[in-house]
Amino acid sequence: MTTYLAESPTLADFGKDVWWIAAIKVVGVFVLLLLLTLFTINYERKVVARMAVRPGPNQVGPNGWLQSLTDGLKLPFKEEIIPFTADKIVYFLAPVISAVCAFTAFSVIPLGPMVSIFGHQTPLQVTDTSVAVLVVLACASMGVYGVVLAGWASGSTYPLLGALRSTAQMISYEVAMGLSIVAVFMTAGTMSTSEIIRAQENGNPFQLFGLELTAPGWFAILLLPSFVIYAISAIGEVNRAPFDLPEAESELVGGFHTEYSSFKFAMFFLAEYINMITVSAVCTTLFLGGWRAPWPISIWDGANEGWWPLLWFLGKVLLLLFGFIWLRGTLPRLRYDQFMRFGWKVLLPISLLWIVVLAGIRTLQGSDVATGTRNLIIGAIVILILLVAFLWPARKAAPEPDLAEQLANRPPGSYPVPPLDLQVPASPRTWRTVAEREPAMAGGDTGSTPSTDDQAGSADKEV
């Protein structure tokens, strides 16, 4: 039978704090997110600079670590430009919605066990409910409104296109991310974030071919497909490279916040980085054991007591944030149709298939079937899935038509195509007679192209 340490909080431990303890925790989380945002911005600049063999920020503060702080202080004092065609009220509310949703999602993230604050025993977590993970998903869904309203209220074409693209992207990958979390619910038996950490506290004993084995406690190992799907979906959810298509500079200038400046732009910038921290914290909670110390630190008896777990939690979050930065400095941006096809036709079917397989395995584990027969059935299912995955015939791409066929299939009114041999009329500086100039101006054949010597001689005369 699984035993839990006394300091691990339960749902019964929440809702009992005096008002000033609750205020301290709320303000503490707010300050922690602001400090993490400032650190992450500089952290990203330095890591990417290291990858690109550049110095990075090195002027403001010790080794440049105050650069993001000065940028944050500078933005509110910059000139604010509001488009004449903007809807003033919605234009103001959009960045507020994004920032508030980003902060609210962190309220159900456990940062540590039961601690003592001025002599009061309290969980190191703002609050928790029986459906705490759904609160995080709800905040992520509400954040979409801030994006789409920002693009619509700007009264400009490119922000609107960026908002629509971002909304489609966030909704698409939110579906896959929600399905990846279902496997965690099925295994832990709860949606409470603190209870999910308790479920990963010890290994899960099971029998395989008559052997008594213990599955690893972290769901990242036990539910590896869900962990991979969540990691990919989280990158698409927060619009980070290589999935930063809503802010594709070459296509949409800056995306949904193109028309924003000064403090309102700073709020969007803040919301983006807090969302990165939030999805990393949720991943830590659901798949990496939360605030519990990793092995071999967990061998120390006091590793999961007091304020030490806050250090392990922040270490895991920073490691995941490094993954975000690593991808930005490594992978190129995807094309939009490839990105959406990957979300709907790859991640979504794999998520559904994995949930069905996991449900079947858990049903067999709880049935009265003999242990040997149950293990054989589970093994056969796994082998069948692997065979289907490796032997599924790859779809052959349709042969690309040749250039002449593509030109013939162009719709009426298309833009003209340059000559296939790249032969263009001679420069007007080389025309010597009216007879050469008129056919060229009419787009016809000039009859003869001046030689290189003639062109050089004519150029010399003009000079």
Taking only the tens of pLDDT, the chain with its 463 residues reads 333 444 678 788 888 888 899 999 999 999 999 999 999 999 999 999 999 899 889 888 898 899 989 988 888 888 888 888 888 899 999 999 988 998 998 999 999 888 888 888 888 899 898 889 999 988 888 888 888 898 889 888 888 888 888 888 888 888 889 899 999 988 888 889 988 998 887 655 555 555 555 555 788 888 888 999 999 999 888 888 888 776 666 565 677 888 888 888 888 888 889 999 999 999 999 999 889 888 778 788 788 888 889 999 999 999 999 999 999 888 888 888 888 888 888 899 889 988 988 888 777 766 666 666 766 776 777 777 777 766 666 666 667 777 677 777 777 777 666 555 555 555 555 555 555 555 555 554 444 444 444 444 444 444 4
Start-to-end Cα distance in the chain: 96
Using the structure block, give the residue that is written with the tokens 């969980």.
Answer: 123
Residue 457 inside a domain? The answer is: no
Residue 397 inside a domain? The answer is: no
Residue 454 inside a domain? The answer is: no
pLDDT tens digits, one per residue of 322-377: 999 999 888 888 888 888 888 888 899 889 988 988 888 777 766 666 666 766 77
What is the tally of structural domains in the chain?
1
Domain hosting residue 141, numbered range: 12-391
Residue 463 inside a domain? The answer is: no
Give helix 132-153 / helix 88-104 axis angle, nearest 10°.
Answer: 160
> CA separation (Å) from 7 to 25, 77, 331, 334?
18, 46, 43, 46
| Total residues found in the chain within this entry | 463
Task: Please provide the DSSP assignment of 123-169 as one string.
Answer: ESSS---TTHHHHHHHHHHHHHHHHHHHHHHTT-HHHHHHHHHHHHH
Residue 202 inside a domain? The answer is: yes
Q: What is the pTM of this model?
A: 0.78
